[in-house]
Amino acid sequence: MNNSLFSGIIQSKLKIKLLLRFFTNPDSRAYLRQLSKEFSVSSNAVRSELTHLSGSDLITAEKQGRKIWYKANAKHPLFPELGSMAKKCWAWTRSSTASSAGLEPGTGLSAG
């Protein structure tokens, strides 16, 4: 996934992926091992980024049984802006990928 729209402001590629994961679909939630498998990175790396993001209140953490579930914090003052940025980045990435593959952006149909 090309995250160049965020990469100028956020250095950690994993943090960018987590922000995109949570803010493109703010009602979704995930737990540590799920995210570790999804991004093919160590659980320690994911834990570190989740700690930073939850420490800044960008995401919330809710313990249910033995799992801690994380999701975007809809009450954070930057929630609307981060959601908008994440969705634009996701759409831009899809459109760039489609164009480079000779597809009409956003459709998956051949441009020719």
Q: Is residue 111 part of a domain?
A: no
Q: What pLDDT shows up at residue 28?
A: 93
Residue 23 domain boundaries: 4-97
Q: 109, exposed or middle or buried, with CB in 10 Å at 0-12, 13-18, 19+? A: exposed
Domain count, the chain: 1
Q: Is residue 66 part of a domain?
A: yes
Question: Whole-model pTM?
Answer: 0.74
Q: Is residue 73 part of a domain?
A: yes
Binned at pLDDT 50, 70 and 90, residue 87 comes out as confident
- Position 103 pLDDT exceeds 60: no
Q: At what angle do helices 43-55 and 32-39 cross, to 10 degrees?
A: 120
Q: What pLDDT shows up at residue 89?
A: 79
- Position 106 pLDDT exceeds 50: no
Q: Is residue 63 part of a domain?
A: yes
Q: Is residue 18 part of a domain?
A: yes
